[in-house]
Amino acid sequence: MPPVAESSLEVRGDFPILSRRPNGRPLIYLDSASTSQKPQSVIDALATHLSEHNANVHRGVYPLAQDADAAFEGARTRIAAFTNAPADTTIFTKNVTEAINLIAYSWARANIGPGDAVLITQAEHHANIVPWQVLCRERGAELRYLQIDGHGELAPEQLQRELARGDVRLVAFTHVSNVLGTINPVEQICAEIRAAGAISVVDGAQAVPQMPVNVSRIGADFYAWTGHKALGPTGIGVLHGRRELLETMEPFLTGGDMIASVQEQDATWNDLPWKFEAGTPAVAEAVGLGAAVDYLTAIGMDRVREHERSLTSYLLDGLARVPGLRVVGPPGADGRGGLASFTIEGLHPHDIAEIVGRDGVCIRAGHHCAQPLMRCLGVGSTARASVSVYNSPADIDALIESLSTARELFKLPAA
Ligand X SMILES: Cc1ncc(COP(=O)(O)O)c(C=O)c1O
Active site residues: 369
How far apart are CB 328 and ligand X at their closest, in Å?
15
Residue 25: CB minimum distance to ligand X, A: 27
Please state the closest distance from residue 98 (CB atom) to ligand X, in A: 7
Q: Check residue 121 for interaction with ligand X (CB under 6 A).
A: no
Instruction: Return the number of the residue (341 or 402) whose C-beta is nearest ligand X.
Output: 341
Asked if 391 touches ligand X (CB under 6 A), the answer is no
On whether the CB atoms of residues 75 and 289 are closer than 8 A, the answer is yes
Of 8, 89, 97, 122, which one interacts with ligand X (CB under 6 A)?
97
Contacts with ligand X by CB under 6 A: the residue count is 13
Tell me how far, at minimum, the Cβ of 223 lies from ligand X, in Å.
12
Q: Based on CB atoms, which residue is closest to ligand X, 95 or 210?
A: 95
Decide: is 96 part of the binding site for ligand X (CB under 6 A): yes
Contact (CB, 8 A) for 393 and 9: no
Here's the x/- map for ligand X, 239-268, by CB under 6 A: it reads as ------------------------------
Regarding 45 and contact with ligand X (CB under 6 A), the answer is: no
x/- mask, ligand X, residues 336-375, rule CB under 6 A, reads ---------------------------------x------
Q: Closer to ligand X by CB, 127 or 201: give it.
A: 127
Of 305 and 358, which CB lies nearer to ligand X in the complex structure? 305
For the CB of residue 61, give the shortest distance to ligand X in the complex, in Å.
35
Residue with Cβ nearer ligand X (8 or 92)? 92
φ and ψ of 260, to 5 deg: -95, -45
Options 9, 71, 75, 127; binder of ligand X; rule CB under 6 A: 127
Residue number, 89 or 184, with CB nearest to ligand X: 184
Show contacts with ligand X in window 154-213 (CB under 6 A): 174, 178, 203, 205-206
Nearest to 392 by CA among 1, 16, 6: 6
Residues recorded for the chain: 415
Query: Quick one: 98 or 294, whose CB is closer to ligand X?
Result: 98
Give the nearer residue to ligand X in terms of CB position, either 32 or 270. Answer: 32
Query: Distance between CA 61 and CA 231 in Å, rounded?
Result: 32
Q: Which of residues 218-237 bind ligand X (CB under 6 A)?
A: 226
- What is the side-by-side strand order in the sheet with 199-203? 90-93, 237-241, 222-226, 199-203, 168-174, 117-121, 142-146
Shortest Å, Cβ 222 to ligand X: 13
CA pair distance 53, 92, nearest whole angstrom: 20
Alpha-carbon distance of 249 to 254, in angstroms, equals 13
Segment 129 to 158, residues that bind ligand X, using CB under 6 A: none
Among the listed ranges 46-54, 123-131, 293-301, 357-365, the one in contact with ligand X (CB under 6 A) is 123-131
Q: Does 392 bind ligand X (CB under 6 A)?
A: no
- Answer for which of 12, 125, 364, 384 binds ligand X (CB under 6 A) is 125
Residues in contact with ligand X by the rule CB under 6 A: 95-97, 125, 127-128, 174, 178, 203, 205-206, 226, 369
